[in-house]
């Protein structure tokens, strides 16, 4: 985390669809955005790309195989396209360190690391699986994040529903930022989804004066609109909790 950040300001050929002092959000294909940044521009990439396993978990012709969450999102085919080597080449090129959700599906693309996170969901009822592996490029011993770290209310938005089928809890992102970031870091998120990471960054900046900046990309306009609404309402109310 002590490497020098590339401070060259890139000339991005896209305008942000949403901008806050701590957030630049692009409605675009992440490949089109990433290729415009210089090497090692970001201190940390925190990414949650599609795993490409949706059909194995939920067959459209078999309602019994559908969870109540997958049923809501199946028609969008959000998990069809698994990132290829070009995506990972770009992520590794423009970021100094990486944190990758579900990285067991992408291990052939990632450098060898002993610094994994084991996310123990402890049967929280909000997911079809009980745990998840998260890759980090940091040279650390394996860490565990559990519900006991304060996960109880992290998944849902204020209305009690998810915005995105793989929505991550804000508490998890808060913990990651506390563990792996330093003041002034530039962070990249290539698949913004529900925007949980933005709420965590905002909280870190407000309460801990971290001065983090998040650059995020999302290709789906519906998710962007819902995430922007979620972020705007959270900031307006000052709750930072949903």
pLDDT in tens, 206-239: 999 999 999 999 999 999 999 999 999 998 887 5
For residue 205, pLDDT over 80 is answered with yes
Helices within 47-101 (DSSP H only): 54-57, 70-73, 85-94
Between 35-49, 71-85, 135-149, 217-231, the lowest mean confidence (pLDDT) is in: 71-85
For residue 22, pLDDT over 70 is answered with yes
What is the rounded average pLDDT of the residues 74-87?
A: 74
The pLDDT assigned to 56 comes to: 52
Whether 226 maps to a domain, the answer reads: no
The torsion defined by the Cα of 226, 228, 234 and 236, in degrees rounded to 10, comes to -130
What is the rounded average pLDDT of the residues 3-17?
A: 75
Q: Using alpha carbons, select from 79, 53, 40, 59 the residue that is nearest to residue 193.
A: 79
The pLDDT assigned to 61 comes to: 45
- pLDDT band, residue 18 (cuts 50/70/90): very high
The pLDDT assigned to 63 comes to: 45
Instruction: Give the tens place of pLDDT for each residue, 84-130.
Output: 999 999 999 999 999 999 999 999 999 999 999 999 987 554 555 67
The alpha carbon of residue 240 and the mean position of all alpha carbons in its chain are separated, in whole angstroms, by: 17
pTM for this prediction: 0.84
What is the rounded CA–CA span in Å between residue 47 and residue 137?
12
Angle formed by the axes of helices 170-180 and 196-208, to 10°? 50
What is the rounded CA–CA span in Å between residue 16 and residue 22?
13
For residue 242, pLDDT over 90 is answered with no
- pLDDT band, residue 143 (cuts 50/70/90): very high
User: Which residue in this structure is represented by tokens 């789906």?
Assistant: 220
What is the rounded CA–CA span in Å between residue 98 and residue 188?
9
Q: Backbone phi, then psi, for 45, in 5-degree steps?
A: -105, 125
The pLDDT assigned to 5 comes to: 57
The DSSP letter of residue 220 is: -
Residue 52 neighbours by CB distance under 10 Å: 15
The DSSP letter of residue 149 is: G
When divided into structural domains, the chain yields a total of 1
User: Is there a contact between 216 and 192 (Cβ–Cβ < 8 Å)?
Assistant: yes
Q: Which helix (H) or strand (E) holds 144?
A: strand 143-146
For residue 7, pLDDT over 90 is answered with no
For residue 24, pLDDT over 60 is answered with yes
The tokens describing 185, both together, are 């870091």
Between 16-30, 79-93, 153-167, 207-221, the lowest mean confidence (pLDDT) is in: 153-167
The tokens describing 103, both together, are 């990285």
What is the rounded CA–CA span in Å between residue 209 and residue 241?
18
Whether 176 maps to a domain, the answer reads: yes
Whether 53 maps to a domain, the answer reads: yes
What is the rounded CA–CA span in Å between residue 51 and residue 176?
21
**Which domain does 185 fall in, by range?**
18-220+232-237
- Kindly report the average pLDDT of the chain as a whole number: 83
What is the rounded CA–CA span in Å between residue 72 and residue 80?
16
CATH code for the domain in which residue 103 is found = 3.40.50.150
The alpha carbon of residue 16 and the mean position of all alpha carbons in its chain are separated, in whole angstroms, by: 18
The DSSP letter of residue 48 is: -
The alpha carbon of residue 95 and the mean position of all alpha carbons in its chain are separated, in whole angstroms, by: 15
The pLDDT assigned to 222 comes to: 92
The pLDDT assigned to 190 comes to: 98
E strands in 28-69: 42-47
The pLDDT assigned to 165 comes to: 81
Whether 6 maps to a domain, the answer reads: no
Between 36-50, 51-65, 126-140, 156-170, the lowest mean confidence (pLDDT) is in: 51-65
Whether 214 maps to a domain, the answer reads: yes
């Amino acid at each position: 985390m002590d490497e020098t950040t590339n401070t060259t300001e890139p000339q991005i050929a896209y305008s942000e669809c949403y901008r806050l002092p701590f957030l630049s959000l692009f409605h675009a294909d992440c490949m089109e955005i990433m290729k415009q940044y210089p090497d090692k521009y970001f201190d940390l990439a925190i990414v949650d790309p599609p795993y490409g396993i949706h059909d194995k978990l939920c067959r459209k012709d078999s309602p019994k195989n559908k969870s109540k969450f997958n049923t809501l999102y199946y028609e969008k085919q959000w998990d069809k396209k698994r990132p290829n080597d070009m995506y990972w080449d770009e992520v590794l090129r423009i970021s100094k360190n990486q944190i990758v959700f579900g990285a067991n599906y992408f291990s052939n693309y990632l450098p060898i690391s002993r610094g994994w996170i084991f996310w123990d969901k402890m049967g929280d009822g909000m997911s079809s699986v009980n745990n998840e592996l998260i890759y980090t490029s940091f040279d650390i011993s394996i860490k565990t994040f559990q519900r006991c770290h304060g996960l109880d209310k992290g998944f849902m938005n204020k209305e009690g529903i998810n915005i995105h089928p793989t929505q991550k809890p804000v508490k998890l992102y808060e913990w990651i930022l506390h563990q792996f970031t330093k003041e002034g870091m530039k962070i990249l998120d290539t698949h913004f989804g529900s925007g949980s990471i933005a709420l965590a960054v905002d909280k870190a900046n407000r309460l801990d004066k971290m001065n983090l900046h998040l650059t995020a990309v999302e290709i789906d306009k519906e998710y962007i609109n819902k995430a922007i609404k979620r972020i705007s309402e959270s900031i307006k109310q000052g709750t930072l909790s949903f």
